[in-house]
């Protein structure tokens, strides 16, 4: 059994929770996530020959992992840290969108495939994707082959391109609106992009330093995040 971050969507409500799931277990459709929700009810999980206490945060979970584990690398080097590249901000948005209905473990394990398939997340290149590129992506087993998510990536690349023309960069557009309460960010993202509900917007902004909450105060990485001067912690 493995501990993983899951996103659950029910109607207009979506939220992230953490749960033990069978390693390698994946879902391709959000309604199948009910199977994973059931696994999150118990606080303790009996896995054949061991009984494990369920961690209460992502930070506590990664403490038990090897330094080269995908979750440890993401948590220690990326999660909550500011990003100063429009293409890399777009990368995070694409990955967060593709997690919907799936585990974050699945996305982290596929992130290199995503980078190759999506032209190293070049906003300009993806904005020019046509039907042949859509078909190519839908046939690529290394990524999430979901038509809505593929089309959302292309649409959002075009939207960010327009924001770059108006504001100079995607970063400047975000800075222009910062700070906002989460509910206002969600309204803005829904108005501007596709496939950006409340939880996707929250995770994107939290993971890139625009909203607090990525790390608990006792986490060893928390001081490093503060030193990187995330937007939420600036005066």
Instruction: Please report the pLDDT score of residue 20 as a whole number.
Output: 43
Q: CATH classification of 1-235 is 1.10.340.30, yes or no?
A: yes
pLDDT in tens, 71-116: 999 999 999 999 999 999 999 999 999 999 999 999 999 999 999 9
Which residue bears the tokens 């995607």?
A: 170
Collapse the DSSP code of 120 into the 3-class scheme (helix H, G, I; strand E, B; otherwise coil) and give the result.
helix
Domain ranges for the chain, please list them. 1-235
> What's phi and psi for 37, nearest 5 deg?
-60, -40
Q: Is 209:231 a contact under the CB 8 Å cutoff?
A: yes
pTM of the entire structure?
0.81
Collapse the DSSP code of 230 into the 3-class scheme (helix H, G, I; strand E, B; otherwise coil) and give the result.
coil
The pLDDT confidence band at residue 235, using thresholds 50, 70 and 90, is: low
Calculate the average pLDDT of the chain: 84
Collapse the DSSP code of 218 into the 3-class scheme (helix H, G, I; strand E, B; otherwise coil) and give the result.
coil
pLDDT in tens, 107-152: 999 999 999 999 999 999 999 999 999 999 999 999 999 999 999 9
């Amino acid at each position: 059994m493995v501990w993983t971050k899951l996103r659950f969507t029910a109607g207009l409500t979506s939220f992230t929770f953490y749960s033990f799931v069978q390693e390698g277990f994946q879902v391709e459709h959000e309604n199948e996530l009910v199977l994973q929700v059931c696994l999150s009810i118990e606080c303790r999980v009996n896995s054949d020959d061991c009984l494990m206490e369920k961690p209460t945060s992502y930070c506590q979970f990664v403490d038990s992992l090897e330094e080269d584990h995908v979750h440890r690398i993401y948590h220690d080097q990326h999660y909550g840290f500011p990003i100063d590249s429009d293409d890399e901000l777009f990368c995070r948005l694409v990955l967060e969108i593709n997690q919907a209905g799936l585990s974050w473990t699945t996305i982290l394990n596929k992130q290199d495939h995503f980078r190759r398939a999506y032209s190293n997340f070049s906003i300009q290149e993806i904005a020019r994707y046509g039907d042949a590129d859509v078909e190519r992506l839908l046939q690529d087993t290394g990524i999430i082959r979901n038509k809505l998510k593929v089309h959302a990536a292309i649409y959002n690349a075009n939207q960010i391109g327009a924001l770059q023309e108006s504001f100079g960069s995607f970063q400047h557009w975000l800075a222009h609106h910062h700070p906002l309460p989460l509910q206002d960010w969600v309204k803005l993202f829904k108005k501007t992009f596709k496939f950006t509900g409340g939880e996707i917007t929250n995770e994107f902004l939290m993971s890139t330093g625009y909203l607090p909450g990525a790390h608990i105060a006792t986490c060893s990485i928390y001081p490093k995040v503060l030193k990187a001067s995330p937007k939420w912690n600036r005066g």
